Structure formats: C-alpha cells, structure tokens
A and B are shown apart, each in its own frame.
Chain A
Amino acid sequence: MEEEKTPNIPNRSLVIMALVVGGGVTLGALTLYAIMPSLIAQGGIPEAQTDFLRLSPVFFPRLAFAILTGLSLTYFISTARLLKQADEGSVFEESGTLQRVLTLYSIALIYPFLLPSLGYVVSTIFLMGGMTLYLGTRIWWQVLSFAVLTPITIRFVFERLLSISLPRSDFDFIANTEEGLMQVLVSIFYGWKG
C-alpha cells in the first residue's frame, strides 16, 4: 500500500500518537490471531465447525486479523520513519484545546453513571447546563432555561410521541416529579383525559 507522506503527519506529537495506535493495533490483531481458536465459545453445531467443506468459525476472523496485523505493521514502520524528520508541535492547533476536549469528554463519561440514579431529566440538566456554561454562555437565565427545557422537551418528544422510553430515577421523588411533569405536558398537548 502507499506509504504515508510527511505532510500527512506534520508534527512529532501526531507521529507519536500514530505510532501508539499503529503499535497497539498490530499487537492487538496479532494477539487475537494467535488466540482466536480459544475465543470460540462452546455451542453452535460442533459437526459443522469441523467439517472440512465448511468454513470454520475461526478461519475468517483469523484471516481478517492476519491482514490487519500486516497492514498496521506497515503503518507503524512507515510512521516510525517520519519520527526523525517531524517538527515539534502539539496534536491540537490552539493552546488549551486538549483541556477543552478532555473536560467535555469527562462530562460525557460521567453522564452514563448519573443516569441510573438521577434519571434522564435531572442528569441531562447537569449535562446541558455544565456544557453550556463551559462553552461560554454566562447569562444565568439563558443557561438555566436551556438546561431545564431541553431535556424536558426531549423526554416528552421521545417518550410520548415516539414511544422511546428513557431512564427513570431510582429516587421515587425525582421519578414521580418527572412523571407528573410529563402528565401536565400530555394534558396540554393531548387534552386532559382524567
């Protein structure tokens, strides 16, 4: 395959990142290739798995991982050649970008853990409010109204109009408040049915 050209990886940080990815994928694919037979769980049709006319369940994954090992090793070697000629520099063009990306990703990472206990609306109020503040909106009533109204609207549209249920809080108080709020919205949009 075609080799990487210097302009594609302009600085040392990116080259190192590419080496880590290339090396990691190579090692991972090689390991999976080697241990593939032991990763076939019991089950299925045993006769079919040993019939020489049939495709063994090991064959195709091993083929894919063997090709992946070769390709990623080529990528690793061609990238390693760039290390000496690479310029100093950061992965990101603007300073502070890594911090912004990591903060946002951390918020996204914490969110799934909040969902089971706080439920969809309350967790999402934190998500929306935190992100809106972090991304530069400082007017409190704008942040508050956006953070509160967006999850309520999303929950109403997805649950009541599209029948997609979203997580409820483990705390009865929160779950009941949310449900009550949905009932009010239903009564507004569909008319009160008792």
Chain B
Amino acid sequence: MIDAFIEGFYLLWRIDTYVYISLGLILGMFVGAMPGLTTTLTMAILLPVSFKLEPMLGIPFLIGIYKGGIYGGSISAILVGIPGTGASIATTFDGPALTRKGQGRKALEMALFSSVTGDTLSDIFTLSLIGPIALVVLLVGPPEVFAIIIFSLVLIASVSSESGLKGAIAACIGLGLGLIGTDAATGATRLTFGLEILSAGIPIIPLVIGIFAVPEVLEAVQSRAPRFIDERIDLSKAGERLKWPEFKRSIRTILRSTAIGTGIGMVPGVGQVVAAFISYSAAKRASDDPDSYGKGNLDGIAAPEAANNAVNGPTLVPLLTLGIPGDNITAILLGAFVAHGMRPGPQIFEEQGPMMYALLLSMVLANIVFLGLGYILLKPFAYAIQAKKSYLVPIILGLAFVGTLSTGVDTDVMIMVVVGICAFILRKLKFDLAPLVIAFVLSEPIEYRLAQTMLYAKGDLFSYVFVQRPVASVFLSAAIIWIVYLIIRPWLNNRKQLIGA
C-alpha cells in the first residue's frame, strides 16, 4: 500500500494535470456561481472531454469542476442571496446580511478559506482511510456487496426525492434502462426490440447529458428574465478583506463542520445540502451568540461552506471501494472511471493502486490551486454571474450536442433529445433523477452479484443469505425495515395527529 502511495505520488509530477485541474476549477466556479445552472450539468456535458484525455488529466479535470462548482454556488448566495447550487442554500442565511453590512468581501473570502480547509482535511482523511477500507472490503463476498448495493439504493431513493415513492420509481426506471443490452452472466440480449444499436445497452453519455443538461436548458428559458440574476452586483461596496483574527475565531466551527461533512459524505445519497444545514445548526447551537445567526455572522458562512466542501472527498469512499456512487456527481465520475478502464470496486486498489493514490493525491493538491484561483478570480466570477442567458443557454446546449456527438454514434443525439424531454417532464413533477442515474450504473453490478450469490447458494438463496452470511443479512434486513418504515410512516403520523387532537 505504501509502495502504491509513493508510486502514485510520482505520477503526479506533471504540469498538465494541474492545468486541467485549474480549467475544471474555473469552469466549475463559473457555472456553480450561476443560479439555475448546476455542477452536475457541467460535469455531464464535459464528461466526453474527460474520456478523450488520459486518466491523469481527465479525472482530475472532472474533480476540479466538482470542487469549484460547490464553492462557486456561494458567490451568488452571499452577494445577492440566490444560491448558485443547492449546497449553498444555508449560506444565504448570513451571506446577504453581511453584504448589506458592507462585509461582502469578508464573507466571500471566509467562504473560500473555509471551503478549502474543509475540502483539504476531508481529502486527507479519505486518502488515509480509503486503502485500509478497500482491504477490508476485499474480504467481503458477492452476497455482501449485493446487500450493500441494495441498501444504498434504497437509502438514496428514499432521501433524494421529496417522497420515497418518486425516488423508488426513478430508481426502478434506471434499473430497467440499465438492463437493456447484453446480459453479462449468460450473454443473452434483452429489451433491444431487435435494434442493433441497443445491443451494447444505452450509452451513458447521451443518457447523462439528456438527464442533466437538456432539462436545465429548458428550465432556464421558462422565465423571460434576460439574466439568471437581475440584481446589480457592485463590489465597490463589498468592504474590507478578511483578517486573520476573524478567520481564527471561526476555526473551531470549520473543524466541527468538516467532521460533519466528512461523516455525511461517506453515506450514499445524503450529500452537501444536508451537511450544510446540519453544520449551520450545530454552529448556531454551539455559539455564545446564537441570535446573531441569520443577521450576518461570519461563522454562519464558515459552517455550511466547510461542510459542503468536506463532503466531496468522502463520497469517493463508497464509489472506489464498493463501486457505489452516492449522488449524481459520483455517478458521472463512475462513468469516467469505467471509460478509462478502471472499474471501481474492492479490487481496484490491488490492480491500480498507484493510479488511485495519484488521483486521490491530486484532489488534495487541487485544493492549493483552488485557493489561489478562488482568490484571484473572485471578482471576475462575481461579475460574471450577470452574464446574459441568450449567450449562455446556446453555448450549454451546443456543448451538450458536441458531448453527445463525440461518441461518434449519430443516434446518440436522438437518445439525448428524447431522454431530455422525459427528464424535463419528470423534474416538473418533482422527481429527483439521481436515483435513476445511480440505479442505471448499478444495474449490471446488482444483477451480476445476485447471479454469483445464487450460484454460491446452490438453490437455497434465503437460508444462504439470511443465515450463513450475517453481514449481507444485516444490510438486507436494514433495507427491508427502512422500506416498511417508509410505508407505515404516513399511517403513524396520522395516528399521532389523531391522538394529539
């Protein structure tokens, strides 16, 4: 493991990796700052670009977009009170109040420094723990992996949409789409309706671009407003820079929030938004002056920003050790790993240890670039969020088409367009499509592990899984208990209300 780490460190001695990280960070921050456009959209349309690059360029490029996007959302949240991304909603509690008090610059810099601190610490945590976790995961067999995937999928489906029912429907649609094509276990082709182009399954690029880019473009044109933000940005009134004693006062909050974000990042499906809210309320509870929260407290910026960026690194733990993406972004990253010939799972650190450590180390080093670029480009990004929709929307749609065309298969464009309108309709009905994409990428591993489990079980699946494999039994039982709880929860709530009345 140490050898792989050292080899990985040497793989990082190349300037082009940092050039692509910087490019990713700039694009991520720009799009993240734009309310209405998301980091997922940027990663989806630029995923094909990463395919064409070497792994040591393409994946750090996507990681740069991811990191930059989460931070970028705080710029508009602080300056005009409109979060650029969901992860920055909690930042709007204190950000605009600080801007009104003439401390916008301090708030922006606090957001940057706490984001970088949270991100760096959680990346170091991920880097130091992921190897040993992978070694432990190597000891578990197909029944356990199958059970963990099912448990994760149930968790993701139940927490992602506003109701578990919608999340579960999205996940089942994703499973169905993922099963189109050739069955890995028997070689039989399924659900292709005689179409040759479907025999290899639905390609991930048009699916991801259709789901994430097309609906966002259509949603952007729903309002007649010429810009995403109507408010005028005036940084001349943003006030002084953040001073060291002010940052020092927030260090305790940043460390607490980093710990919360890191813990939440390791659980599939929960994500940045929850981490930011929990950290904000934890900071408020721990504060000597809780009443100042919401009225312009710098800790109210530090807490959510450290937490939402601290989620980034640990989300890679379930992805790289078990092959389970916890959210949209890690599902896209999984696509990138697979395209580069790296199938995340327990064996990846055995087979490609140096490369894995190099990529994880690049995440840590990206934070230094992140700090520099964030500091230098703060002002341009603050003004860029006023860019006109009539230029941005065509560029995004144009890039979405180029991304899909890059597969070299003409029919992929039609897949993208059709998937796009379906995704738009589902989003109108408040379906979160993260479970769909995650289930799509997990459908093959789920079926394959189930097939292996059935072979091991020699015909007695129930007794084998629930009696002979205690770990698998715990995860499957937890999934079943959670589903039963979700079903009876409305009934329990009604009963509680009746008793209360």
Contacts and interface: CB of A to CB of B under 8 A. Distances in A.
B185 to A, nearest CB: 6
Contact of A1 (B164, B414, B454): B164
Given A2-B486, A17-B428, A54-B451, A68 B173 contact: yes
B408 interface: yes
Contacts of A94: 222-224
* Best-surrounded residue of A92, A96, A104, A154 (most CB of chain B within 10 A): A104
B217 A104 contact: yes
Contacts, number: 222
Say whether chain A's binding surface is mostly helix, strand, loop, or mixed: helix
B188 A104 contact: no
Interface string A42-83: 011100110011111110110011011001101100100000
Contact of B168 (A1, A56, A124): A1
A54 B459 contact: no
A24 to B, nearest CB: 10
A10 to B, nearest CB: 10
Given A127-B398, A135-B221, A41 B192 contact: yes
A167 to B, nearest CB: 6
Given A17-B428, A21-B426, A112-B413, A154 B490 contact: no
A76 B143 CA distance: 34
Contacts of B489: 2
How many B residues are at the interface, by size bracket?
A: 35 or more
Nearest to B222: A97
Contacts of B424: 101
Interface in A143-164: 146, 150-151, 154, 158, 162-164
Contacts of B173: 25, 68
A72 B173 CA distance: 10
Contacts of B221: 100-101, 104, 135
A151 B188 CA distance: 42
A32 interface: yes
Contacts of B417: 108-109, 112
A57 B421 contact: no
A72 to B, nearest CB: 6
B51 to A, nearest CB: 9
A41 B188 contact: yes
Interface in B158-210: 162-166, 168-169, 172-173, 175-176, 179, 182-183, 185-194
A64 B412 CA distance: 25
A169 to B, nearest CB: 14
Contacts of A165: 408
A132 B186 contact: no
A171 interface: no
Interface in A101-139: 101, 104-105, 108-109, 111-112, 115-116, 120, 124, 127-128, 131-132, 135-137
B391 A146 contact: yes
Given A39-B192, A100-B221, A131-B393, 17 more contacts: A2-B490, A8-B162, A32-B176, A39-B191, A41-B192, A48-B186, A57-B190, A60-B450, A64-B172, A64-B179, A75-B169, A78-B165, A92-B222, A94-B223, A100-B224, A108-B217, A108-B397
